[in-house]
A and B are shown apart, each in its own frame.
Chain A
Amino acid sequence: MSDDRIDADDPELFAAELAEIAPALPSRIDATPEDVESGLAKLVLTLIEFLRQILEHQAVRRMEGGTLSDEEIEKLGLTLMRLQERLNELKEDFGLEGEDLNIDLGPLGKLI
């Protein structure tokens, strides 16, 4: 195979772009079995995040359906907003960032 395998228009731009997905790699590279606890927190928070996104999606659909009263929309929005805030606090407590909250389901791809 040839060594010349990359042809990029703007290598620096791509380097910056790919830096977004790169954090996932060093965190795995650094990981040790002592991280089990953190891994578990990650699993639980990921599942909550997954459900939160489903709820938000549903909420938007309900709102667009036009069947919700103003009061209901306000209540729903506040509930979801608080849920997001609480989840962000929890993420911070466990030192997790947005992109950390995902699960590789192997052949099924990423959960979120």
Chain B
Amino acid sequence: MAIPFSYTAKNLLARRLTTLLTAGGMALVVFVFATVLMLQEGLRKTLVETGSPDNVVVTRRSSGTEVQSGVDRTQAGVVESQPEIALGADAQPMLSKETVVLITLPKRGADSPANVVIRGIGGKGKALRPQVRIVQGRMFKPGSAEIVAGSSIADRFEGANLGDNLRFAMRDWTVVGVFDADKTGFDSEIWGDADQLMQSFRRPVYSSIILQLNDMSRFDSLKTRLEGDPRLTVEAKRESVFYAEQSEVLANFIGYLGLTLSVIFSIGATIGAMITMYASVANRTAEIGTLRALGFRSRSILTVFLAESLLLGLVGGAIGLFFASFMQLLTISTMNWQSFAELAFSFTLNPAIVAKSLAFALFMGLIGGFLPAMQAARMNIVDSLRAP
């Protein structure tokens, strides 16, 4: 026969301070655990969803990032003439020859500058990224010294708001619009006309070529032809893969650091739970004896104490998650080591993270409560009844 659940819950309530402290320790661990997962998810969402699977990025072979890449005009022309490229409504190829450079801009409210991506796009550049919408002002006019800023750039950098002037490459550039890219990596970029930017930066080569496939399954034939062409020194990648690779180092770093910390911290919290449960068992020795004498089996005693410990973990997990959910309001910006550019991303909570965090909290409770519960279940009835 099972002992009612209310017995377990009331035991936790009876020692409020101890329950609160133990659950508090676990809550902090779950908070760190959930925050790291949310950060990883936010980074994944930002960078992986930047690329769409039917777009292809062509860069110079083994350059890794667009900034380091260079594709000259002759090679770009060869890429442009491939048959796999989709045609737009105006019967022009859906392809954008882009130039990507970094400039140093001062951050708002801090005197530390950061590297910002300036992307010169071709006529189809915006059409290739359907998630990009102009939210303020208008798109730049091709052939003019006008630029549009991503929403995280406009928020965080000096002189990047609508109507402001930015000076770089010996020219003044007017911000005529602010675009929102639905929390993808483009939000941390400034866009302008590719030819104007190349002229000003005195770069005779494009950085990358973005193109849309007319049929997703024809990627392999395009890749084989481009990379086998002796006139070209390029490599082609699906845009989604390209951006996932950009975030690999940062995502791994956050992942490893977070995992290590969670494991170390959980040792502390598990020990806390163990101490509490041992004390709980020791204080109730006579009670356990009484329960056994009443006819409850040792398995029921084991269940009761395990349930108490699991409940403790659950309470801690719920508190930790509650506070972690507020982290969604924060946006973090840091330099992505691979692209060397500033990247803004936010903490993202999803059901999988909630489930993982609660499972982690219950696991800590289980580990912390197992040994004390075993001790309680193994108690001899007579000895325990004799306990003071």
Chains A and B bind each other: no
Task: Give chain A's interface residues, CB within 8 Å of chain B.
Answer: none
